[in-house]
A and B are shown apart, each in its own frame.
Chain A
């Protein structure tokens, strides 16, 4: 099911890419959009609260007044409040499905997934208590069904549904309690949203400005076209027989007329339990976490800076080497993406150390193996345009034939490895094929690779690497056609270039040193 879902997402995202461009694609900004919508709901809610009267009669009349007498402000704000809340449900559902489809819910991702489950409950509790406050016919229906459901649980002494038996049962203080709940629950929601992103390095909590403006304009348009309105005043002596349900927040409410309340709770509890346990169903076999080789780590912190999972941190030095700090890996957070290996200045194939060691390495796929595979794959290349491909195993280049070296993430490639391939004439050209820009599996791999090649991020790709001999292709597994075309074009272009020449030894000795503390180990 997951591969099918992933393929579906990729096709939809490619379509959205064409309209929004990768940087504004809403499908890759779902988490940030969730936060943005929360703030819209919060700000509009504060405005509505100023004019809201917490009384049995006053609740409805005050909402009606702000909806109609100040439709241009209160009315629009009410629509913002409702539609942004509903869109939050949509964003949450799609976000959850997408993370599931991309296999980002287990292994090191379990924490974000697990803490996402209470977000669902808090979001629904926030929305449902909000519907009560309006005290129209829908609010009456929601209040009665909600309290009947809650009364099934053995936690309340007096059945709270009795508050809604007859008009005389209800008092103003009940609305004061509801207002308190409708403020407190979203605050708890915000707190859990903060916990949700704790283990993510550089979490996106603000969408790009362009996307935010587009969403605000769309919200204004829809608020004017279809303002959120009440459905007639609540009357407890009558049954709200014909209500317009909010199918995002209340889809299970009609089920209470068909099933027993116990069955509805069983469904909710079972679904929640299944979601919460999903990261361990079945247990995820994780590759071994990155390990630090202290003899080759000078505590520069580049791995800490680049890790997308905050799995690496700097701690006080524990050996005798003359550095203040050293890298330390939290194995529980490490996704074994290898981005730290690509960031380490010791990760250079030009070094002459026994077995090619680096400061931080992947036990299951060490730098030495990467270099050996690079050399053996390059040795098998023939023809006038020998193109070596480094492919991310989550992108379009994965699973190719003999011209490809597959890596967990293209950001695992130290830029010096590209330099090594070209300067040693192992190939005439190099393709770095990563995930699609919008959907980098390890979130930051594409960005870091681009910045390193553009010499904007350490470690830089050296200027001596002829850029016409290096290209990047960002494509998802469903974009095989585009990948093949880009590869063919590059191969043709490489074939027309003059033959690649190895860089002279004397040039290498003067320019290969980029990290002084490691200079004695750098050889041409």
Chain B
């Protein structure tokens, strides 16, 4: 019986298809394995109404992409994640909702033609020079994990919620600032997060104005990839997308 089980298992593994996904940041295509049933289960189980639900979903998704991507996940950023998510969803089901003719494949085709203008920038303000760039999936996951661990098992009263909002803000900035240079001394912020957050919190927020503008540009860019092609609607990149 064990032979039969292993034979079937191996056959299923060997017949898995491979998806090809266009990634905006590199303007190249990458191979991606479709979601297995076990991975779908993980995504569905990450559905939650909690404050940290989106971070939790992104973490689960990072682990899945790490397993399924044929390439180094460190080479791709959060804008690429939209197309990767859409491709995985499209493999399961192309239509988006019953009330619309919109399909995921239409979005993916359209997304190939969206001009990609997000490049790293250097922002100099006061005594500080920030190297700012769209976060790689690796950095995004690293910061999200830090936050999830910090607020694990926390029940959110008003005070804790204020702390969380403040941490979310600091972590969002931290994701985008790769390094800070102060008086010729350069510090990489993505090595040790607790210390990095302390550094950021000690800086007058007026110096982050250009950084937050950059963050808004990147988030707006991500949103372009989720827009319907023919309607003024967008796909929400949440676990619900995979509950068919």
**Chains A and B belong together in one complex:** no
- Residues on A lying within 8 angstroms of B by beta carbon are none
